[in-house]
Amino acid sequence: MPARGEEALLRISNFVVLIGDREYGFAEVGPLTSATDSEAADGRRDHGHRFAPVVLRRALTIGTELYEWRRAIVAGKKDRRDVTIRQLSAPGGRVVNSWRLVGAWPSRWSGPSFNAQANDVAMEELELTYDDLLWGG
């Protein structure tokens, strides 16, 4: 039991991801990064604030919805969605943190690499670029 005044450590293995209103299962998500270029921080440039792309990684299924979202972007469709990452207290537990990627769109999709000598699970990755990162959003 934590001593008085100590906060419980939050684990990274319990989370859910919503793309729009739909929940998806992912094996890995991240990193969540907000950065400012040093020149912008010194006032030598007006901009320089950026959010690094976030990579969502999951086991490949027969569902193609993430790939189709990427294909729509490639075809010129403006299809931006909010993506919410919720950190849970335990499997199926309460939400302890939440981040929202505002106006996200898939800037890269990667399918599996194949190797006849391996027995790994086929994975897909979706890299998201977004306009804003809100903690608690």
Q: Is residue 5 part of a domain?
A: no
- Structural domains in the chain (count): 1
CATH number (domain holding residue 115) = 2.30.110.20
Q: Is the pLDDT of residue 121 over 70?
A: yes
Residue 6: predicted pLDDT: 75
Q: Cis omega before residue 31 (within 30°)? A: yes
Q: Would 126 be classed as within a structural domain?
A: yes
DSSP alpha helix (H) spans, the chain: 38-41, 65-74
pLDDT attached to residue 112: 95
CA 74 from chain center: how many Å? 20
**pLDDT tens-place string over residues 15-30:** 999 999 999 999 999 9
Confidence of residue 41 (pLDDT cuts 50, 70, 90): low
CB within 8 Å of 47: residues ≥ 6 apart = 40
Assess if residue 63 is contained within a domain.
Answer: yes
Across all residues in the chain, what is the average pLDDT? 91
In which domain, by residue range, is 82 found?
15-135
Looking at residue 49, its pLDDT comes to 84
- 15 in helix, strand or coil? strand
Beta bridge partners of 51: 34
Percent of the chain with pLDDT over 90: 79
Tell whether the model's pLDDT for residue 76 goes beyond 90.
yes
Does the pLDDT at position 10 exceed 90?
no
Does some domain include residue 43?
Answer: yes
Write out the two tokens for 37: 């270029």
How far apart (Å, rounded) are the C-alpha atoms in residues 137 and 86? 10
pTM: 0.86
| pLDDT at residue 104 tops 80 | yes
Work out the average pLDDT over 120-136: 96
Q: Which amino acid is at 107?
A: S
